[in-house]
Amino acid sequence: MNPFQYVTPRSVDSAVAQVADQGRFLAGGNDLLGEMKEYIASPRVLVNVKNLPGTQDVVIGNDTWTIGANVTIAQIEHHADLKRVFPGLQQAAAEVGSPQIRNVATVGGNLAQHSRCWYYRQRDLHCAKRGGDTCYARDGENKYHSLFSGNPCISPLVSNLAVALATLDATVVVRRGGKDVTMTMAELYQKAWEEVTAHNSLGPTDLILRVQIPNNGCRSAYLQVSEKAIFDWALVSCAAAARVDGHRLNHVRVVLGAASPIPHQVAAAHDLLEDKELDDALAARAADLILKDAEPLAHNAYKVPLAHALIRRTLKQLVG
């Protein structure tokens, strides 16, 4: 790890100003410190944002809930009201890492974390994600990689919270250029679909401040399959949300994680499910639509039937 300065600003404006000098924001540090130890990242300044005002609370509103960027994953996991109103988000939080990691990992860090592709994380390789010419995963070990991608990199999104929040029509408030900008979850990751070196749509001085979730009466659910029961990333994850009347669904959202560099959703599947009674056949048709354009590689074709089953099971949780 190269030497660096460490500063603790007292305001958002000060944090943004200090990170501009080849710095990085530091909250829980689970992702960034790993990159620094492997010399993937060598910031000159670490800007501690853990104690910035207005970023550590869950605020319950009649129409909108607000979750500060420095709320920990453990706080979401154990928040009784969040579990009652947004169970899919609580389920997603409970699957993050280990209890020790959830105690320090933050909402902002989970959303902004970088690729976990082993070629990207290998200090001696210079893959396409790090500005090289080759995505080594395409013809190499791609067991954990994407089924969908808009650019040569096939590194998938690994944020559990992004998948759950996308189904809830959540938005993210980001300090950018001296202003607070509100982004949908799709907008937060769109650049990763379009540009090979991007992990998300955030610039180096963009700072996530909070997440806003509309309280629109939707039920939600989240499921994932991992190789290990705990302390492992998802092979595939799925979140779903809808307003439910008996078995009839409205305002339906279904999102896959660990299958694409973005929270993967297909509007045609939402249209198919809208205002219909959910049964096994309809859930299977929706899964077929979501996976229609999947492009499995040599070692990750197993993700297609796995995702198909998760989509059906997650939808059934909404009406169960």
pLDDT digit of tens for each residue in the chain (320 aa)? Answer: 899 999 999 999 999 999 998 999 999 999 999 999 999 999 999 999 999 999 999 999 999 999 999 999 999 999 999 999 999 999 999 999 999 999 999 999 999 999 999 999 998 999 999 999 999 999 999 999 999 999 999 999 999 999 999 999 999 999 999 999 999 999 999 999 999 999 999 999 999 999 999 999 999 999 999 998 888 899 999 999 999 999 999 999 999 999 999 999 999 999 999 999 999 999 999 999 999 999 999 999 999 999 999 999 999 999 98
Task: Based on the fold, state whether residues 172 and 307 are members of the same structural domain.
Answer: yes
Task: Based on the fold, state whether residues 201 and 98 are members of the same structural domain.
Answer: yes
Q: What is the distance between the alpha carbons of residues 156 and 295, in angstroms, rounded to a whole number?
A: 13
Task: Based on the fold, state whether residues 10 and 99 are members of the same structural domain.
Answer: no
Q: What is the distance between the alpha carbons of residues 171 and 103, in angstroms, rounded to a whole number?
A: 24
Q: What would the two tokens of residue 8 be?
A: 């603790």
Question: For residue 59, what are the contacts with CB-CB under 8 A and spacing of at least 6?
Answer: 65, 66, 67
Q: What is the pLDDT of residue 4?
A: 95
Q: Which domain holds residue 314?
A: 66-113+155-319
DSSP secondary structure string, 110-125? HHHPPP--TTTS-TT-
Task: Based on the fold, state whether residues 78 and 22 are members of the same structural domain.
Answer: no
Whether 11 is covered by a domain: the verdict is yes
Please report, for the domain that includes residue 21, its CATH number. 3.30.43.10
DSSP secondary structure string, 75-89? HHHH-HHHHHH-HHH
Task: Based on the fold, state whether residues 189 and 288 are members of the same structural domain.
Answer: yes
Q: What is the pLDDT of residue 21?
A: 81
Whether 181 is covered by a domain: the verdict is yes
Task: Based on the fold, state whether residues 37 and 84 are members of the same structural domain.
Answer: no
Task: Based on the fold, state whether residues 90 and 221 are members of the same structural domain.
Answer: yes
SS3 content of the chain, % helix, strand, coil (to 5): 30, 20, 45
Task: Based on the fold, state whether residues 104 and 16 are members of the same structural domain.
Answer: no
Task: Based on the fold, state whether residues 177 and 242 are members of the same structural domain.
Answer: yes
Q: What is the pLDDT of residue 52?
A: 96
Task: Based on the fold, state whether residues 34 and 162 are members of the same structural domain.
Answer: no
Task: Based on the fold, state whether residues 16 and 73 are members of the same structural domain.
Answer: no
Tell the burial category of 105 from Cβ atoms under 10 Å away from its Cβ (0-12, 13-18, 19+): buried
Task: Based on the fold, state whether residues 210 and 296 are members of the same structural domain.
Answer: yes
Whether 208 is covered by a domain: the verdict is yes
Number of domains in the chain: 2
